[in-house]
Structure 1
Amino acid sequence: MPVNAAVRDRCRTVLGHRGAIRYVFPALSVGPPGAANFLIVVTDLAVAVLATRMLRSDRPVSVHATFPRNTRLGPIRHGPAPLIELGDMHFEFDDEYAAVVAAADAEAFAPETLPLDPLPHL
């Protein structure tokens, strides 16, 4: 399920001028130094990890880390929850966002595998 427009707007505000948002999904960091909620935002220029408020995981407050757009999010490792690694951090996310991770990687590394836009004029 995609995040709603309000969350995307908040991400856009925190990111500033770091590219057009393509994908957003919530994730939980696991491992040292502890668990925390983040939003992973893929723009046309970068992959950003946004820190969120402690009890409001839909409210980004700062850019925790950025990576070049040619950073792979996958492969997705499966355990109790899907898991990806970005830099030295590991993130778990809900199963429903596995397609988002796959699409973000496909867009950057295998665009020929993406389906055609059914509404290109919008």
Structure 2
Amino acid sequence: MPLPTAVRERARAFLRPGETIRYIFPASSPSSAFISAHYIFVVTDASVTLLFTGFGSRTNPKEVTCRYPSGTRLGPVDTSQIPFFVLGTTVFEVDEEYVPVINAADAESSADCLPPDPLPDL
């Protein structure tokens, strides 16, 4: 399910002038057994921007945590249990519905724009 327009507009306020949102999705980083830090990933034509939304809110970005250059791969996403991916040294969990969004962002940023062959030995 896409994020609501209001969330996209709030996220747009943290982007650099001229950047166009291509993909946007929420993610959480578990920091203890009961608390998770929440983020919004915004993939634009110029960067991958990570917005911190806090420990309670998932829809109100508070600050830019970091910016990665365009072409930064977010996956692969491990879907064996709760879907997650690792960016740098941080583990981010996502809802299953956003796994295709991450895969699409990665495919678009790669040179050949194709996902990896699931059966390369055949």
Q: Which range, TM-score by smaller chain? A: 0.7 to 0.9
Counterpart of 1:7 in structure 2 is: 7
> What is the identity percentage for the equivalent residue pairs of Structure 1 and Structure 2?
41
The two structures, once aligned, show a CA RMSD in angstroms of 2.0
Q: Is the 1:18–1:46 Cα contact (8 Å) retained in structure 2?
A: no
Counterpart of 1:109 in structure 2 is: 110
Counterpart of 1:21 in structure 2 is: 21
* TM-superposition CA deviations, 1:36-89 (whole Å, max 9, x none): 000011011111110014322100011001111111011111243111111221
TM-score of the pair, normalised by structure 1: 0.82
Structure 1 residues not aligned, in runs of 5+: 115-122
Please give the alpha-carbon distance, in whole angstroms, between the structure 2 residues aligned to 1:20 and 1:64.
19
What SS does the aligned partner of 1:60 have? coil
Summarize the alignment of residues 1-122 of structure 1 with structure 2, pairs less than 5 Å apart.
1-17=1-17, 19-31=19-31, 35-109=36-110, 112-113=113-114
* Structure with a larger share of its residues in helix: 1
Structure 2 residues not aligned, in runs of 5+: 116-122
TM-score of the pair, normalised by structure 2: 0.82
Q: Is the 2:22–2:45 Cα contact (8 Å) retained in structure 1?
A: yes
